[in-house]
Amino acid sequence: MGQSNQIPVERTVPGAAHAERPGDAVSHPPVLFLAPRGGDAAHAGHLLQTAGLSITACATLNDLVDRLDEDTGAVVVAQEVLHEAGLPALREHLQRQPPWSALPVVVLTNERRLTRTTARLLNELEAIPGVVFLARPLRGISLISVLRNALQARQHQYRVRDLLTETERAVHQRDRFLALLGHELRNPLAPLRHMLDALRLQDQQPPLFRDGLTMMGRQVDQLTHLVDDLLDAARISQGRITLRPTRLALEPVIQQAVASVQPLLDRQRHRFELALPTGALWVEADETRLVQILTNLLGNAARYTPDGGHIVLAVTRQADRLLIRVRDNGIGIPAQEQTTIFEPFSQTDGGRSHSQHGLGLGLNLVKQLVELHGWDLSLHSDGEDRGSEFTIDLPLQAAEDMPGSGADGAGVDHSILVVDDNREAADTLAMLLRALGHRTRVAYGGRQALDTTENRCPHIALLDLNMPGLDGYELASRLRQRWGERAPRLIAVTGHGDPERLEEAGFEHHLLKPVGMDALLEVLRTRN
């Protein structure tokens, strides 16, 4: 047994005959076995099978690597079969295992036959998790004991894999449910928002009526915000949010965000301070998402600061970087919560009386949107009741002229087609447009819209996307084919949409349900 192509093992294994009794055996994935040819190599394989282990003999190192994609319990390989030609494939396979996996690999070594090349190959393998060396000559029971422990560890790894798979499936189902829920909630929100805006246009409202409309509008805004957070959380987790960055002047974006939270600031009597450096500041960002980031940070500061607080949005320039800070003197964040505050559904404050209701998704969305841009987000708080400061660190772009925008139809009487299979949403949006002085037609589906526009082409078409039969994408394409250069301006009105498909179908704008009057007026005035 002194030959280099053999594996010296003891020919009897104490207790091996009783190691696996019928009914006690545990089913394990097979052990891939590769050793040089020889009598002891064959005996070692027989010994492992006698001990109740499932063995798959491999003819070559390449054969072994090919079998690694199958469920494998462990690998036994002798140092003599390791060679520079085949080792990279084995090493690459072991290094690209999924996070749950660390395949047990037992390398049978023989120091008397160790060359410099073999030593280097073994060192490369030793750095990989799951690889262990057994020096020969060895007792058969030692090899069996090592393999049994390795197979038990491998079974645990497979259980972890199955749990992860089940968890991913559950998360996927949850995200699908949240996306469906958010979309369905938008349908009743749309007619509520349209009707509220139409009623606000009425003159000589009694105070109770006017205050009631204001309160109802505030609650619809809050519900819309919650639905938006649910949808965005589901989209981000599914990798369905695609940024469309452009070069932007930062100040108008900040003003949009401030305007959106101004009612909340006023309602809670906060003192708001905006500090900007002189000169234009340009950034590369998705405008909609940057407004969302700043709105969420300001809204978070307003909600978690007691009435009459002080909130600051400050921008500072540092060489070729910009720091956007949102600071408040509110309830602060305890040290033990600062590591989890960005997790989904996480909230601080433990439900104290001045805490506002919410889903705990705002800061999580901020963090993920900031990271999608490739920026950095940091938090500083000295603890409970000592305020908080969130800082976004992003690149400053070279200055250039502000892009211009044309106007189309500010105060002009438009002919507008509203298409939505939700009749109440379509009717109330049309009612709002008529209250704004426009002529409107309504269609409750794609095919009815085609019939309506067979002889008359509207100036503008507001199309729902998710309609049965003929959806908004196909309807937009057919309207463009029918009317060519005289086709209406296409505006998508829906809960969600694919930006690439929207552009391909010819949509100029995408309005989220429920459409607010300000957003609607802005789109009617602006033409790409």
Q: Is the pLDDT of residue 440 over 70?
A: yes
CATH topology of domain 246-395: Heat Shock Protein 90 (3.30.565)
Identify the pLDDT of residue 84: 63
As a whole number, mean pLDDT of residues 261-282 equals: 89
Side chain identity at residue 44, one-letter code: A
Q: Is the pLDDT of residue 301 over 90?
A: yes
Residues of the chain with CATH 3.30.565.10: 246-395
Q: Is the pLDDT of residue 26 over 60?
A: no
Q: What is the pLDDT of residues 188-215, one digit of tens each?
A: 888 888 888 888 887 777 878 878 888 8
pLDDT band, residue 325 (cuts 50/70/90) = very high
Q: Enter the tokens of residue 145.
A: 């004991």
As a whole number, mean pLDDT of residues 33-54 equals: 72
First to last CA, the chain: 84
Q: Is the pLDDT of residue 420 over 80?
A: yes
Rounded distance, CA 309 to CA 307, Å?
6
Identify the pLDDT of residue 346: 65
Rounded distance, CA 425 to CA 445, Å?
12
Rounded distance, CA 234 to CA 179, Å?
6
Identify the pLDDT of residue 410: 39
Residues 6+ apart with CB under 8 A from 260: 291, 295
Q: Are 282 and 248 in contact (CB under 8 A)?
A: yes
As a whole number, mean pLDDT of residues 52-73 equals: 85
Q: Enter the tokens of residue 66.
A: 């090919």
Identify the pLDDT of residue 4: 39
Q: What is the pLDDT of residues 159-192, one digit of tens each?
A: 999 999 998 888 778 777 877 777 777 778 888 8
Q: What is the pLDDT of residues 109-137, one digit of tens each?
A: 877 777 777 778 788 788 888 888 888 77
Rounded distance, CA 211 to CA 467, Å?
36
Residues of the chain with CATH 3.40.50.2300: 16-166, 406-527
Q: How far is CA 23 from the centre of its chain?
A: 47
Three-state DSSP string of 356-376: CCCCCCHHHHHHHHHHHCCCE
Q: Is the pLDDT of residue 38 over 60?
A: no
pLDDT band, residue 280 (cuts 50/70/90) = confident
pLDDT band, residue 82 (cuts 50/70/90) = confident
Identify the pLDDT of residue 109: 83
Q: List, as own/partner pairs, every contact residues 174-178 make where C-beta atoms lie below 8 angstroms and the sequence separation is at least 24, other chains included.
A: 175/234, 175/237, 175/238, 176/234, 178/230, 178/231, 178/233, 178/234
pTM of the model: 0.50
Percent of the chain residues past pLDDT 90, beyond the cut: 26
As a whole number, mean pLDDT of residues 392-409 equals: 61
Percent of the chain residues past pLDDT 70, beyond the cut: 85
Q: Is the pLDDT of residue 154 over 50?
A: yes
Q: What is the pLDDT of residues 456-509, one digit of tens each?
A: 888 999 999 988 989 999 999 999 998 888 889 999 988 766 777 888 888 988
Q: Which residue has the higher pLDDT, 56 or 1?
A: 56
Mean pLDDT value across the chain:
81
As a whole number, mean pLDDT of residues 437-444 equals: 89
pLDDT band, residue 401 (cuts 50/70/90) = very low
Identify the pLDDT of residue 448: 92
Residues 6+ apart with CB under 8 A from 254: 274, 276, 294, 313, 315
Q: Is the pLDDT of residue 327 over 90?
A: yes
What is the CATH code for 16-166? 3.40.50.2300
Rounded distance, CA 337 to CA 363, Å?
13
Identify the pLDDT of residue 39: 52
Is the peptide bond between 99 and the residue preceding it cis, with omega within 30 degrees of 0? no
- The region of weakest confidence among 71-80, 92-101, 215-224 is 215-224
Identify the pLDDT of residue 8: 45
Q: Is the pLDDT of residue 231 over 80?
A: no
Q: What is the pLDDT of residues 335-384, one digit of tens each?
A: 888 888 887 766 665 444 444 546 667 888 899 899 999 999 999 999 88
Q: Is the pLDDT of residue 12 over 80?
A: no
Q: In the CATH hierarchy, which top-level class contains the domain 406-527?
A: alpha beta
Identify the pLDDT of residue 222: 75
Identify the pLDDT of residue 408: 39
Q: Is the pLDDT of residue 453 over 90?
A: no
